[in-house]
Structure 1
């Protein structure tokens, strides 16, 4: 995927912001991506893959419904990350609709900074999502190891998250779970947003309470009904955390965390410069009408902010910007950037379980 402006601006214009003309051209490109998304969304996918073709390597992560494992596909020798969800657990936690929705979304989205589905299938006990393996590991791991990101690296990652959210919102998807644990770093140093379990097509507003406590927007906590604004709030939290090494709103008791969020009470570290403080303040804005990303200028408030001066958005989109940091990856199946987990056997039942609930899978 490559995007090029139909009419090239001067390099000064690109480096010092993003012009209205550039944004209009880019929106035409986003419309093209939306048309492609809509076509895939309406099309039933059929995959020719069987479990015996997949060689399990190790577990990459675990969650409430199952685990993510590293695989090698015997026919191509390619490595994949497979999300294994236990039907029974999905049903117990009333996540059937979310899971079926996530499958459709992963099949339909295509953007440089989001993961997509390669294959999916089910058996008597489990459902499986097979996605490209992103060997650099979670942003969370790198952030914890480094303490905090140097500003050029935080800026590099932030610009990709902005472009990813702009794409998702353009195709009417609200993400609702932005955090370092859901961002993977590829071997080229660029990022991929993963885990679309809380993502949904949005027309108007929605009221569901979901997400991670430290990242929830005030309007979501207050059950006011919300839209894409919640993703921009979460982006503000991520922006703060990348630069500080810890989130802006935190307490041992989740209710205290919620109180701080609703009040918009946080303090910036002394290491934050004036431009960074300004962009954080305008994004962690309790008043939605004043929050960056939601106002009349939309994403342009970010693209033209002083903190992003020097970023060439087209170069970022086409992965031509030199990454400030590239994770160590010795080979395509290198999993050393992921934590170790106890292995558990995947044992499908001898009879089909919950067939009716997953009929549409």
Structure 2
């Protein structure tokens, strides 16, 4: 009996120990279960976060999300390994995000403005896009409003309207509003939802930032070369700047970049020079640089500009030398974000001394306005010359000699700016003024200093004249001016632009397609056509291949057969007779007009744009001043 009792006690102790071990195991399992529950909770939160940020596409995606949540619940009930859930979630998100990416990428590749983006740029743009829903009957875009975003339709139907008339139906995978990615445009149409729809949106700032970063990476990439590899071949076009980060190189030839000056002159110690400009005016430059605003008197108003107006003025102490005074309102400049641009332009102009560029003499300011004193080119601009030619000769274009003369003046001006590391970026007839001798001068507008081997990404210029690399936002340099020069020659010789349309989008897409798709009129000779096509090489053919962009610069343009026989020395020495000598009145005539203006005002006579300038002796005067002298504003 004693033995049996002892055996029972021993068995009981074993059972108690076994129960204690089971309790310990249960505690461990419960702890593991709590850990898995916490992971499942975090997994569900992660899924919700992805659903919010990625906005999984389509009704099928919503159904799939519900199914996946059900899988998670089942997994929780059966305590499935959490790694399986994580892997499933990852594949789920990647699958549907890839589906959306394919839709947006297909939309980009169908769009004339965006189809040239590379794969990395497309991926970056898609990554910064977000989705939005629009209910039936609501507007995505309203006609007349400013736009900053472009849209890709994923599902639903939209309707595009203009002036109350239906233009087209927007289908899934269609893109619209892409002009807003380039500049602050005003929508010319409305887009409303015919059904509940889902859209993907990208804004201008994100788009331009991505393309700028992409361009900078291309400019600053590293390349490795093996022993014996050529880094630069003699005779090749040089548009790349190299810095050796490791190793050594050897040169088999010395390549010197040519400049306008044949030699350098360096001061050895202190030197004082007397400087006389070829076209120096009768007024002592020091008198202008030290003058104050009160030293000038207004002769008459010239016109109105975006930020103010322009007056014809003269020094009170010297009454036979007129100047143009731009009067700009500070509030408008600041509100339009143009403060830095105006400051940069003034700085560049003060450093510029070229007989083919309108000279800046001085700047003044008061509490409300900025005053910019420049030389007065009272012969009008080339745009008015084309219009006057149409009135007199029933021709909208200029003859070849006249076009060659004005183009040569512009080539000299651009060559000067480019040698200073400055891009012009807004060449067109309205910005080319004539002085009293009929010589053309550039009005400086969208200037930008760019170092050698670098680019800028500002969307700047005028539709129809700007180069494709500006439109595609791939970064541009001096080569963009050469494209505009080709368009400029085309317009003077034909009276129309090679890339023109009432729809801005069609202008941009035609520009990207290139000059080879343009029909040249018979008024453009074969040699002129050759010059234009060499200047307007498309960006995808490499802008650095444009005539005038290689190491000889503008000299290659001057040597083109279209300029054969042209007297470049005579142009620089101003001994050539200009095609048109403007009839600029004496300063006393301006005073007469100025007096008439104030007499009419004193007598309460009408002097509005139509009534006052409609008088026969006033309107021709305004046109004689250049009509577009107001472009200075």
Per the shorter chain, which TM-score range? Answer: 0.7 to 0.9
Following TM superposition, by how much is the alpha carbon of 1:267 offset from its aligned partner in structure 2, in angstroms?
1.8
| 2:523 equivalent to 1:271 | yes
Does 1:164 find its partner at 2:407?
A: no
The structural deviation recorded for 1:340 is: 6.3
291-300 or 94-103, larger mean C-alpha shift: 291-300
Q: Is the 8 A contact 1:99 1:197 kept in 2?
A: no
Structure showing greater relative contact order (alpha-carbon pairs closer than 8 Å, 6 or more residues apart): 1
Match of 2:448 in 1: 200
Which residue of structure 1 lines up, in the alignment, with residue 535 of structure 2?
283
Offset of 1:216 from its aligned partner?
0.7
Q: Cα distance, 1:283 vs. partner? A: 1.1
Equivalent position of 1:148 in the other structure: 397
TM-score (norm 1): 0.80
TM-score, with structure 2 as normaliser? 0.46
Q: What's the CA shift string for 1:223-246, capped at 9, x where partnerless? A: 001110111111111111111111
Question: What count of residue pairs does the alignment treat as equivalent?
Answer: 308
Alpha-carbon displacement from aligned partner over 1:66-122 (angstroms, at most 9, x marks no partner): 122111221111211011111011011101000001111111100110011112100
Q: Report the 3-state secondary structure (helix = DSSP H, G, I; strand = E; otherwise coil) of the residue aligned with 1:227.
A: coil
- Spell out the pairing of 1:78-117 with structure 2 (5 A cutoff): 78-117=321-360
- Give a deviation string over 1:21-67, Cα, whole Å, max 9, x none: xx9684337999xxx9xxxxxxxx99433333322223323222112
Q: Distance in 2 between matches of 1:248 and 1:154?
A: 16
The answer for the alignment partner of 1:12 in structure 2 is: none
Alignment of 1:310-329 (within 5 A): 310-329=565-584
More helix by share: 2
Q: Is the counterpart of residue 122 in structure 1 residue 358 in structure 2?
A: no
Matches of 1:227 and 1:31 in 2, distance apart? 29
What SS does structure 2 have at the residue aligned with 1:28? coil
**How far, CA to CA, are the matches of 1:289 and 1:104 in structure 2?**
28
Structure 1: give runs of 5+ residues left out of the alignment: 1-22, 37-44, 344-361
Is residue 262 of structure 2 the alignment partner of residue 28 of structure 1? yes
Q: Deviations over 1:108-156 (max 9, x none)?
A: 1001100111121000110011011111011111112112111101001
8 Å contact from structure 1 (residues 86, 125) kept in 2? yes
Return the alpha-carbon distance in structure 1 between the equivalents of residues 518 and 331 of structure 2.
41
Residue 550 of structure 2: aligned partner = 295
8 A Cα contact 1:61 1:339, kept in partner: no
Partner of 2:308: 66
Aligned-partner Cα distance in 2 for 1:143–1:275 = 22
CA shift, 1:188, in A, is 0.6
| Mapped partners of 1:298, 1:68: distance in 2 | 35
**Against the structure 1 CA distance between its residues 28 and 171, is the aligned structure 2 distance closer, same or farther, given a 3 Å change threshold?**
farther
Aligned CA distance change for structure 1 residues 197 and 270 (closer, same or farther; 3 Å): closer
Residue 312 of structure 1: how far off its partner (Å) = 1.7
Q: What secondary structure, in the 3-state scheme, does the structure 2 residue paired with 1:280 have?
A: helix
Distance 1:99 1:160, change over 3 A: same
Q: Hey, what's the Cα distance between the residues in 1 that align with 2:501 and 2:264?
A: 39
Q: Secondary structure at the match of 1:215?
A: coil
Q: After the TM superposition, which segments of 4 or more aligned residues of structure 1 sit over 6 Å from their partners?
A: 29-32
The question of 1:307 aligning with 2:555 is answered no
Query: 1:102–1:197: 8 Å Cα contact kept in structure 2?
Result: yes
Change (3 A) 1:26 1:221: same
Over 3 Å counting, the alpha-carbon distance change for 1:128 and 1:30 in structure 2 is farther
Structure 1 residues 262 and 281, CA, compared in 2 at 3 Å: closer, same or farther?
Answer: same
Among 408, 423, 426, which residue is 1:174 paired with? 423
Out of 34, 45, 48, which is 2:290 matched to? 48
Contact between 1:30 and 1:167, CA under 8 Å: does it hold in 2? no
User: CA 1:89 to 1:30, structure 2 compared with 1: closer, same or farther past 3 Å?
Assistant: farther
- In the alignment, the residues of structure 2 paired with residue 139 and residue 26 of structure 1 have an alpha-carbon distance, to the nearest angstrom, of 27
Taking the aligned partners of 1:105 and 1:290, their CA distance within structure 2 comes to: 28
Task: Return the offset for 1:281.
Answer: 1.2
Report if the CA contact (8 A) 1:179-1:238 is conserved: yes
The worse-fitting range, judged by mean Cα deviation, of 46-55 and 130-139 is 46-55
* Aligned-pair Cα RMSD in Å: 2.5
- Alignment partner of 1:223: what SS? coil
Instruction: Choose from 498, 504, 507 the match for 1:254.
Output: 504
Residue number in structure 2 paired with 1:39: none
Q: Deviations over 1:282-306 (max 9, x none)?
A: 1121131431111344322211111
Compared with structure 1, are the counterparts of its residues 31 and 292 closer, same or farther at alpha carbon in structure 2 (3 Å cutoff)?
A: farther
Contact 1:47/1:121, CA 8 A, preserved across alignment: no
CA distance in 1, matches of 2:425, 2:496: 20
